[in-house]
Amino acid sequence: MAKDSSFRNDIWKWLTLALVAVVSIYVTNPPKEKLRFGLDLKGGTSFTLGVDTDKLRETIIAENPAITNTPGAIEKKIEETLAGCDDRIIQVIRRRVDAMGTNEPVIQGMKNHRLLVQLPGVDEEVRRAAKASLQSAAFLEFRLTHPKNDQLVGKLLSRDIAPEGYKKSGNGYARLENWNEISRRPGYAARLAAWETPDARYRFMLEDNGDGTYSPNFVSRKTELTGESLESAAVQRDPTSGQLSIGFRLDSEGGRIFSTLTRNYRAHGPKNPSDRGRQLAIILDETLISAPVINSEIGSQGEITGRFDAKSAQKLANELNAGALPAPMKILAETTVAPTVGEDAINSGLVAAALGFAMVALFMFFYYWFTGLVANVALFLDIALLPTALIFVANILGVFAHDPSMGGGGSMQLPVLTMPGIAGLVLSLGMAVDANVLIFERIREEFAAGRAAGTAIKNGYGRAFTAIFDSNLTTIIIGVILFVVGTGPVRGFAITLTAGVVISMFTAVVVTRLILDKTVDSNRTRPFRMMYLFRNANYDFLKYGKATIIGSTAVIAVTLAIFAARLVANKASVLAVDLTGGTSIVYSMKQDVKPEVSAIRQALNDFDNATVIQYQEGVGDRTLLVKTGETAETTKGKALENKDVGAYVTKLLQEKFPDAGFKAASVDEVGSMVGADLKKSGTYAVLFSLVAILVYVGFRFNFGFGLGGIAALAHDALITLGIFSLCGRQVSLIVVTALLTIIGYSINDTVVVFDRIREMLRRDSRMSFRDLCNMAINQCLSRTVITSATTFFAVLALFAFGDGSIYDFALTMLIGIIAGTYSSMFIATPVMLWWYRGKRPDFEKEQSNNG
C-alpha cells in the first residue's frame, strides 16, 4: 500500500511538472509574438503625464473671478472637473498617439489622474512632436466678442498703456523680452483676462498677428459651442491665396446650434441690428486663434482661419479629431532610450545570464558531483519553466496592484521584460541553488549518522524544508512590497525575482527529489561524493560579537556621515534624478576623445552651474553622465523650445565639442512631484520590509530572534548604502530596489541559522545557549559560504556586463552579499544572545502564547 501511495504521489508530481512545461511552451511560442520588451531594451520614449492643477486653477479663476471670494470653492471646482476624467483622458491621448502612427504604443492609467505613455522605437522628431501634442488640451470653443468690440479696442489702443508683459507696438502690442518669465508668475492668466474689461462678463484676449504683434479683443466668458460637437477636422488650402485653414464638420446638434448662432449675429440678424456682423472668437486651449466677422449663416460646416503653416495646421487638425482633454496636462517625467542602447542592453543581459548560469552550474557540479548534476538539471528547469511562474506570480501580485504591462488580471500574457527584470532573473539563478545546498548538506549529515540513502534523502528533504520555506518566503515578502510600492521596471524586477524563487522551490523540493528517488538505490550506504569546504568546523564566532558590532557601527557611522555631508553640500551629487527631480543624460562618445570635465562644466555653466558631470568607464567603452536640476517645469526649462532640457543640453555639448561625437543614449527627466513620490515610496518600501521581516521572523521564532534579524538587516542596508556612496555612485530607485533585495536575501541565511538553533534547542537540553548558537553557526557555515558564492558569481556577471542602473544594482548587491554573509554570523546571533542574556528561550511556551 505504501508503494502504491508513493507511486500515486509521484505520478501527480510528474503530471504537474509536465503541465508547467506545457504552459511555458505555450506562452512563449512564437517568441516574436509572445515576448514583450520594455523601452529600456528596445528603445523609445516614455512619458508620465499628470493634470496641471496650477493651470487648471488659473483657468477657473479667469472664467469666474468671483470664485476667489468663496473659501474652498476653487478646490471644489477642480475636484468636480477631475471627477471621472481618467477614462476620457486615456481615450483622447490614445487617439493622438494613434494619429502619430506609432507601433504598439502603451497607454496606461495610474493613480492621482496620472498617465503613462510609452512610444517604442520613435525617433527624435516624433518624440518632440509627441511631447508637444500630449501637453496640448486641444479644447476648442466658439465665443462671441463684445457688441462694441471695435470701439473698445480703438479706445484702448488710443491710450499709452499695455497689458502686463507687453508694450505698445503699432496697432497692437508686442511681448517684452522677459515675457516668458512674467507669464509664469502666479495669477498672471487671471490678471491678463481681467485687464481693462468693460465688465465681468467679458475677458481680455490677444490674437497673434504673425508679425510679432498681437491684436486685442474683448471676448465673452460664455461659451456658445465647444469642440465636443466636432465630428471631423481637416487641413484645406484656399486655391486662390494658398492660405491654409482647418475645415470642420459638426454633428447635427452642433450644426443646429452653430446655424442659430451665426444667423442671429450676422449683419441685421435677429440679435444684431448692426450693419456689421458680430465677431466670433475661435479659442483653442485658452488661446485666441482668430476672431472673424460673421457675414452669413453657417450650418454644420465651417473653417478656422489663422496663421498656419503645413505642420501646425496638420497638428491642430489631428488634435481636434482626437478630442479635447478635460483638463490641462503636463509632463511629470520623461525617459528616452536610443534603440541601439536597447539592443546592447539585451545582448549584455543575455551574456550576463549565460555567464551567471555557467558559473553557478560549474561550481555545483564540481562541488557536489552527482547531486550537483541533479541540481543543475533543476537549474535548467528553472529557466525553462520560468514563463509559467511569471504568469502565476503576475496574476497573484496583480491582486495587490493591477498593472496591465505586467500581465495579471487572469491573462496568460507574459509581463514586459525590462533590464531590471533580467537582473532579477540573473539574481534568482544565483539564489536558486540555495534550497539544493540546504538539502544536500542535510543529506550529508544523515549519511554521517550511518543512515542508508533512502532514509538520508527522506530526512534530508524533510529537515531542510522548514528552513527552505522560511528563507524563501522572506524574499517573496520583499517581492510583494516592491511590486506594490514600485512602478515600471521595479515591478518587472519584483515579478522576475519572485517567480524565480517560486519555481526554484518547486524544482529543488519536488523535481530533484523525484530524480534522486528514481536514480539512487535506497539501500546504498556509501555517501554521495561531495567536497568539504569546512570539515568539522569549530570556530568561536561569538567570541568576537562585541568587537564586530562596535566595528560595524563605526563603519556605518563614518560612511553615513560622509554621505550626509555630501547630501547637504549638493544632494544632486549623491541622489539620482528619480529621487531629486531633474534631467539625467547619458552620452555615448568617441573613445579616443575625452573633453575635460572642467571644460564641459564651463560649457553648461550658464544654464546650470550645479550640473553633475561624470565619466563612467564600462567594459570596453566610456560614457558621459550629465545631470542637471532643470526640468520642463523649472523657470529655465519652461523658457526652452518645447521645454526640452535634454535636447538643449545635447545641442550645447555637440556645438562645443564636435570631435567628441556626443550622442544621447538615454535621457531621464523627472519632475519634482514624481521625484518626491518616488522618494516617499522608496522610504515606505524599506520601512514596510523591515517591519514585515520583524513580524514574520518574530512569529516563526520569537521576538528576540526577530530583533537579531532586524539588526542584521539594518546593518546590511546601512553599510551597503555607505560604501556604495563612497564609490562615487548616485543613489537611485534601482539602488533602493537593490537594498530591499539585500534585505530579503540576507535574512535567508540568518533564518537558516536560527532554524538550526531552534532545532538544536529541542534536541539538546544540556548545552549552554551560547555554545549551542556557536555550533549552529558552524554547522551552517558551508551552506552560508556556498550560497553566498553562487549568488556572488551571478551578480558578478551582471557587474561585468551591465551598465548604467544595472551596474549600480550589481555593485550594491555585491557589497550587500558580503555584508549579509558577515552579519548572519557576527551581528544577528550576538544581538539575539544579548536580548536573552545568554539564557535559553522556551519555544514551547512561546508557541503556546502565540497560539
Q: CA–CA separation, 121 vs 45, rounded Å?
A: 8
pLDDT of residue 342: 62
pLDDT of residue 250: 84
Q: Once rounded to an integer, what is the mean pLDDT over residues 136-146? A: 81
Q: Once rounded to an integer, what is the mean pLDDT over residues 102-130? A: 77
Q: Once rounded to an integer, what is the mean pLDDT over residues 41-60? A: 79
378, 468 contact by CB (below 8 A): no
Task: Please name which of 850, 787, 843, 797 lies closest in space to residue 820, comparing C-alpha atoms.
Answer: 787
pLDDT of residue 331: 80
485, 688 contact by CB (below 8 A): yes
Task: Band the pLDDT of 851: cuts 50, 70, 90.
Answer: very low
Q: Once rounded to an integer, what is the mean pLDDT over residues 83-91? A: 76
Q: Can you give the length of the chain in residues?
A: 851
Q: CA–CA separation, 714 vs 557, rounded Å?
A: 13
pLDDT surpassing 60 at residue 28: yes
pLDDT of residue 144: 93
Q: Once rounded to an integer, what is the mean pLDDT over residues 76-96? A: 78
pLDDT of residue 7: 55
pLDDT of residue 197: 92
Q: What is the DSSP string of 184-205?
A: TSTTHHHHHHHTT-SSTTEEEE
pLDDT surpassing 50 at residue 847: no
Task: Band the pLDDT of 8: cuts 50, 70, 90.
Answer: low
pLDDT surpassing 60 at residue 849: no
Average pLDDT, the chain: 82
Better-predicted residue by pLDDT, 240 or 560? 560
pLDDT surpassing 60 at residue 844: no
Task: Please name which of 383, 448, 389 lies closest in space to residue 415, comparing C-alpha atoms.
Answer: 389
How do residues 676-707 score in pLDDT, each as one tens digit?
Answer: 676 777 777 778 877 887 787 777 777 888 88
Task: Please name which of 548, 530, 328 lies closest in space to residue 445, comparing C-alpha atoms.
Answer: 530
* Residue type at position 376: N
Task: Please name which of 772, 163, 39, 840 lies closest in space to residue 418, comparing C-alpha atoms.
Answer: 39
pLDDT surpassing 50 at residue 474: yes
How do residues 277-327 score in pLDDT, each as one tens digit?
Answer: 899 888 877 888 888 888 888 888 877 766 667 777 777 777 667 666 767
CA dihedral 46, 52, 53, 59 (to 10 degrees): -160
pLDDT of residue 674: 66
Better-predicted residue by pLDDT, 48 or 573? 48
Q: Once rounded to an integer, what is the mean pLDDT over residues 327-335? A: 78
pLDDT of residue 685: 76
Q: CA–CA separation, 7 vs 108, rounded Å?
A: 49
pLDDT of residue 2: 45
pLDDT of residue 848: 42
Q: Once rounded to an integer, what is the mean pLDDT over residues 614-630? A: 77
pLDDT of residue 531: 85
pLDDT of residue 845: 52
- DSSP 8-class letter at 308: -
pLDDT surpassing 60 at residue 850: no
493, 421 contact by CB (below 8 A): yes
Better-predicted residue by pLDDT, 171 or 210? 171
Task: Band the pLDDT of 137: cuts 50, 70, 90.
Answer: low
Grid cell of 741 as nine digits: 533585495
Residue 270: Cβ-neighbour burial (10 angstroms; 0-12, 13-18, 19+): exposed
Q: Sign of torsion, CA 459 462 467 471?
A: positive
Q: How many CA atoms lie within 13 A of 11 on its CB side?
A: 6
Q: Once rounded to an integer, what is the mean pLDDT over residues 696-723? A: 86
Task: Please name which of 670, 684, 680 lies closest in space to residue 576, comparing C-alpha atoms.
Answer: 670
Q: Scanning the structure block, which residue is given the C-alpha cell 532610450?
A: 337
pLDDT surpassing 60 at residue 164: yes
pLDDT of residue 561: 92
Task: Band the pLDDT of 673: cuts 50, 70, 90.
Answer: low
Q: Could you give the percent of the chain with pLDDT greater than 70?
A: 91
Give the H or E element holding residue 557: helix 545-569
665, 586 contact by CB (below 8 A): yes
How do residues 787-821 score in pLDDT, each as one tens digit?
Answer: 888 888 888 888 887 666 778 888 898 999 999 89
pLDDT of residue 147: 92
Highest mean pLDDT among 93-97, 448-452, 667-671 belongs to 448-452
pLDDT of residue 233: 80
How do residues 736-774 score in pLDDT, each as one tens digit?
Answer: 888 888 887 788 788 888 888 888 888 888 888 899 999
Q: Once rounded to an integer, what is the mean pLDDT over residues 539-543? A: 88
Show Cβ contacts of residue 691 under 8 Å, excluding neighbours closer than 6 positions: none
Better-predicted residue by pLDDT, 486 or 292? 292
Long-range Cβ contact pairs of 593-599 (< 8 A, separation 24 or more):
593/657, 593/659, 593/660, 593/661, 594/622, 594/660, 595/657, 595/660, 599/656, 599/657
Task: Say whether the peptide bond before residue 216 is cis (omega within 30 degrees of 0).
Answer: no
Please tell me whether residue 100 adopts helix, strand or coil conformation.
coil
pLDDT of residue 1: 42
Highest mean pLDDT among 32-46, 49-63, 353-367, 599-613 belongs to 353-367
Q: Once rounded to an integer, what is the mean pLDDT over residues 258-271? A: 90
Per mean pLDDT, which range of 197-211, 215-229, 690-704, 812-826 is the poorest?
690-704
